[in-house]
Amino acid sequence: MLKTTLAGLRARKLRLLLTGLAITLGVGFIAGTFVLTDTMQAGVTGKFARSADKVDLAVLPEKDGGQLPAALLDRVRALPGVTDAQGTVRGDAVLIGRDGRAVGDMPTVGISVPTGRLLRFDIERGRPPAGPAEAVLATETADRAKFTVGQTITVLDHRRRPHRFTVVGLADFGIDREASMRGAVGFDAATAMRVTGKRTYQEIDILGTADRAAVAAAAGPGAEVVDGEELGERLAALAGADMKLIRSGLLLFGLVSMLVSALVIYNTFAILIAQRMREMALLRCVGATRRQLFGGVLAESAVVGLVGSLLGLAVGFGLGAGAVALLGRTDLDIPADGLTLAPRTVAVGLLTGVLVTMASAVLPARAATRVAPVAALRTDLEPGTDRFRIGLPRLAVGALCGVPGLVLLWYGAAVMDKGESAMFTVAGGGALTFVAVTALMPALVRPLGRVAGALPARLAGVPGRLAVENARRSPRRTATTTIALTIGVGLMTMFTVLGASVAATVDERMAEEFPVDFQLVPQFGGTDEQRIPHELAVRLRALPQIAAVTEMRQQKVRVTGAAGRTVDGRVGALTTSSLGTVIKPEFTGGALADLRPGTVAVTTTTARSQGLRIGSTVRMQTARGPLTLKVVGTTVDGPVPPYLVTESDFDRYFGIRDATLLFVNARDGAAGEGARAAVEAALKPYPTVRVTSVAELKKQYTDAVDTMVVIFAALLGLAIVIALFGIANTLTLSVVERTRESALLRALGVTRRQLRRMLSVEALVMALIGAVTGVAIGVGSGWAVVTAMDEDIVISLPYPRIALFVVLAAVAGTLAAVLPARRAAKTSVVEALSHD
């Protein structure tokens, strides 16, 4: 039986190739993900290992964010065997660019650069800093700000006083995640302390033969001592967390691709078994048992899975190499010392591919065992004919999954409190609904095929009508072929609806609650440590181009809610004259008029998490004593702080004059470049304050959403490509299956061109069935997810994009029929009529 199976595979090389393509693409995506992330991880690990090799011992704070006292460095240096010890100083050191503004959205990091053997950073040009007037820049920071060695830079210290330094070198701070993200300026240790205002160390590196226990005793509690190898592993693991997140996300899309591949493989084997019914019956006649037939089909699937997986590993290696090369051309610092193909990648790829293929072939293999030996002696109907009747099992699966699925979708979207729990409920409902659609899809093929094929049948004439009937006459086959496309299009539609709704919500809230022309924020993004001086607000109000300036002031506090639970919160106030006129928060309970001294309005998210409602009281601990406030309103999350109080209460209990945000409105007719120029001129003495227009803010949100949609579309595109291969595979096998039918049509006068058109229209109808079903599921799921996220989110259906998905699926489906159609048209009529 094994010889017969292998001989059959050798005789059907083209079918083997077509069957294995789907698994090749799926395994290729998974293997490519591992190659990319393993290569990046190996680069990170190697980089940190080389850096930590320069350190014999290191003293670190036990707690994240902890610091080491400055006196500890002197105690460590006095220990026997210590030949050198240096501390790492880190803080904010704002680099001023050529335009007089702070570089970047966040302040650059000021770092102490060690000297001698403990220098762990690579100085790519020049030398390390050696005095109070010297500094080095991160290479990426220097490129972005257009500075080079020998030039003079200005850096603001922790009190925002300017200091000038000569750039003596460019350094690679790639081993420091924060420095890579924010940019970095390096100084010697004493200068770093002076600029950053820090009086403690983040880490102390030791060179020499000092006893580890002695160092630990000197460090005392609150610190730990590690050797160079442990330090490298710890830093690499910390940096590798991003790689794990990237890998998990990519593998999720790889699993979607494997699911689509499984459907394609199942459909292919189901067709092959149907075509080889007489062959199977003949094997039964000559003594093959049911178990042997079952084993033969599974052996065939194992060979197909193995070949497809091996090709997939090669494709994955190429995809990983391409991704590494592509990322290397970007501004991202991607460490890669050579491509990594781990044994784990090979094992996972082979096991996944083979197991998925064999699992997909189980049901067709069972069908093969049911072939009666007498079938070899009779001429049966064309194997592709499917007298489908929806049975009780399908109805049961559809009802048992569909009804609870729809209930969960409705309950999560319309009844539950919005948030994570509601979204998980919606996700569960969506999964059950999809299972129900999969089970009932064969019953939907004929009505959907009639609708989808109405126009093509009219335009393509008789070949078009034949094509529509061909797509409808085998519902099981068409359903299994199109459901793969449904998955990809459905997920793409869902993410598109989600992205469009988020963008529409941002636009509406900005228009209704945020009707300002400009927003001013400190470089730190409005944290408690960085604020906008009140003098700037006064200066802006004096400008003739400015109509109103609104100050938002905020303060971190400890808040005790109605349930007695104390949490960290942010209390804030807005300029009284602007609240309700310029800034119009939307109240879901109570009203702005109720906000008086002694009261507070809270956002709906805060109210839900703290169990607050109108009439509840909250207590805050302030520097001027406890503050008890009565909740008089709830607002949607938006431009207001979580706890909104009156300006007089804020001044009385916090006394902070400087704002965390400024909202600026221009006078009528001055909202263009004139007002923008006036605002920027007023900002010159305040280099760390950034100005953005509302249009720029909207564009940032829109660009972020569009980027997200494009990324998801690209990742899900592989699933759609696999689904299209499934359509091409089904048509190719159908061409073989319907050889005599095609020949008869040719004998009756159908031309080769008409035959090609018939198969193209058939593919078009199948693609439309899958795409339309996917759009319907995607829109429904997208609506449920969006509704479960937030009570006040605006649901937006991007009709042009959704229509584009359907059109692209239709075009791609038609293109998938090109090769099968050409093969059918080239077949000799005489040879085809004699085909058996």
Each residue's pLDDT tens digit, 255-312: 777 777 777 777 777 777 766 666 777 777 767 777 877 887 788 788 888 888 898 8
| Contact between residue 170 and residue 136 where contact means Cβ atoms under 8 Å apart | yes
First CA to last CA distance, the chain: 23
Structural domain including 618 reads 531-687
The Cα–Cα gap between 271 and 386 comes to 11
SS3 533: coil
Rounded to the nearest 5 percent, the helix, strand and coil shares of the chain are: 60, 15, 25
Percent of the residues in the chain that have a pLDDT greater than 90, as a whole number:
22
Closest CA to 320 of 27, 720, 44: 27
Rounded distance, CA 277 to CA 358, Å? 20
| pLDDT greater than 60 at residue 334 | no
When pLDDT is cut at 50, 70 and 90, the band that residue 8 belongs to is: low
- Are 666 and 716 part of one and the same domain? no
752: burial class by Cβ within 10 Å (0-12, 13-18, 19+)?
A: middle
| Domain contains 465 | yes
| 96/232 same-domain check | yes
Residues in the chain: 836
Q: Report, as an integer, the average pLDDT of 514-529.
A: 71
Per-residue pLDDT at 614 exceeds 90:
yes
Burial class (CB in 10 A: 0-12, 13-18, 19+), 715: buried
3-state secondary structure string, 463-509? HHHHHHHHHHHCHHHHHHHHHHHHHHHHHHHHHHHHHHHHHHHHHHH
Burial 348-363 (b: 16+ CB within 10 A, else e): bbbebbbebbbebbee
If pLDDT is split at 50, 70 and 90, which confidence band does 331 have? low
Give me the mean pLDDT over the 489-498 stretch.
88
Which range scores top for mean pLDDT: 118-122, 380-384, 668-672, 683-687? 683-687
Say if residue 322's pLDDT is above 50.
Answer: yes
Distance separating alpha carbons of residues 407 and 236, to the nearest angstrom = 46
Residues in a beta bridge with 138:
171
Going by C-alpha positions, the residue among 771, 703, 259, 700 that lies closest to residue 492 is: 771
Is residue 46 scored above 60 in pLDDT?
A: yes
380: confidence class by pLDDT, cuts 50, 70, 90: very low
Domain shared by 699 and 595, yes or no: no
> Is the distance from CB of 776 to CB of 483 less than 8 angstroms?
no
Examine residue 424 and state whether it is found in any structural domain, yes or no: no
Q: How confident is the model at residue 79 (pLDDT cuts 50, 70, 90)?
A: very high
Is 419 among the domain residues? no
Let me know if residue 20 belongs to a domain. yes
Residue 376 near residue 285, CB atoms below 8 Å: yes
Within-domain flag for 427:
no
Which pair of tokens denotes residue 406?
Answer: 């729809």
Of 498-507, 627-636, 697-706, the one with minimum mean pLDDT is 697-706
Among residues 689, 704, 267, the alpha carbon closest in space to that of 483 is found at 267
813 and 763 Cβ atoms separated by less than 8 Å: yes
Residues 666 and 597 in one domain: yes
Task: State whether 672 and 576 are in the same domain.
Answer: yes
Task: With a cut of 50, say whether residue 526 has pLDDT above it.
Answer: no
Indicate the number of domains in the chain.
Answer: 4
| Residue range 414-419: mean pLDDT, rounded | 80
Helix (H, G, I), strand (E, B) or coil at 665: strand
* Pairwise CA distance, residues 638 & 650, whole Å: 20
Choosing from 632, 653, 687, the residue where a domain stops is 687
Q: Name, of 240-249, 303-312, 664-673, the range with top average pLDDT.
A: 303-312
Are 769 and 471 in contact by the 8 Å Cβ rule? The answer is yes
What sign does the dihedral 213-219-221-223 (CA atoms) show?
negative
Q: pLDDT at position 574, please?
A: 92
Domain check: are 4 and 61 in the same one? no
Predicted local confidence at residue 134, as pLDDT: 96
The model's confidence at residue 797, banded by pLDDT at 50, 70 and 90, is confident
Q: What is the per-residue pLDDT for 14?
A: 60
User: What phi and psi, each to the nearest 5 degrees, are found at residue 767?
Assistant: -65, -40
Task: Let me know: does 49 contact 359? Beta carbons within 8 Å.
Answer: no
Whole-angstrom distance, CA of residue 533 vs CA of residue 542: 15
In a domain? residue 546: yes
Averaged pLDDT, 726-742: 72
Please tell me whether residues 28 and 116 are part of one structural domain.
Answer: no
Is the confidence at residue 392, as pLDDT, over 90?
Answer: no
pLDDT bracket for residue 381 (50, 70, 90):
very low
- pLDDT at res. 377: 52
The reported pLDDT for the residue numbered 383 is 45
Q: Beta strands of 113-201 (E only): which ranges?
A: 122-126, 134-138, 152-156, 162-172, 184-187, 200-201
The pLDDT value recorded for residue 26 is 81
A 10 A CB-CB count for 368 gives 25
| Residue 833 falls inside a structural domain | yes
DSSP bridge pairs for 136: 169, 186
Picking from 48-62, 85-99, 299-313, 507-521, which range would have the lowest pLDDT averaged per residue? 507-521
Q: How many other CB atoms are found less than 10 A from the CB of residue 793?
A: 21
Residue 542 identity (one-letter amino acid): A
Give me the residue label for tokens 């160092």. Answer: 215
The more confidently predicted of residues 228 and 574 is: 574
Does an H or E element contain 111, and which?
A: strand 109-112
What pLDDT, on the 0 to 100 scale, is given for residue 11?
56
Maximum average pLDDT range among 16-30, 174-188, 395-409:
395-409
Would you say residue 149 has pLDDT above 90?
A: yes
Close Cβ partners of 64 (under 8 Å, ≥ 6 residues apart): none
- Helices marked H in 559-693 — which ranges? 604-610, 647-653, 673-682
CB 588 within 8 A of CB 602: no
675, 697: one domain: no
Residues 251 and 270 in one domain: yes
Q: How far is the C-alpha of 817 from the C-alpha of 725, rounded, in Å?
A: 10
Find the angle CA(417)-CA(421)-CA(424) to the nearest 5 degrees: 130
Residue with tokens 């408690």: 528
Residues 153 and 20 placed together within one structural domain of the fold: no
Distance separating alpha carbons of residues 331 and 361, to the nearest angstrom: 46
Using the predicted structure, report yes or no on whether residue 520 has a pLDDT greater than 70. Answer: yes
Q: Residue 214 pLDDT > 60, yes or no?
A: yes
Most confident of 429-433, 476-480, 621-625, 819-823: 429-433
Q: What is the chain's Cα-based Rg?
A: 34
Residue ending a domain, among 192, 223, 239, is 239
In this predicted structure, what is the pLDDT of residue 682? 92
pLDDT at 142: 93
Q: Are residues 625 and 713 in the same domain?
A: no
Tell me, yes or no, whether 810 lies in a domain: yes
The secondary structure of residue 529, as a DSSP letter, is S
DSSP 3-state assignment of 639?
A: coil
Q: Is the pLDDT higher at 816 or at 187?
A: 187
What number is the average pLDDT over the span 359-369? 79
Question: Of the residues 380, 399, 418, which one is the last residue of a structural domain?
Answer: 380
Mean residue pLDDT across the chain: 82
- pLDDT bracket for residue 384 (50, 70, 90): very low
What is the percentage of the chain residues whose pLDDT exceeds 70?
Answer: 86
Look up residue 674 and give its two tokens.
Answer: 């004139």
Statement: residue 717 has pLDDT above 80? no
The pLDDT value given to residue 550: 92
Residues 213 and 302 in one domain: no
**Does the pLDDT at position 175 exceed 70?**
no
Task: Give the whole-angstrom CA distance, residue 446 versus residue 495.
Answer: 29
Q: Find which of 165-169, 349-353, 361-365, 766-770 is predicted with most confidence, using mean pLDDT.
A: 165-169
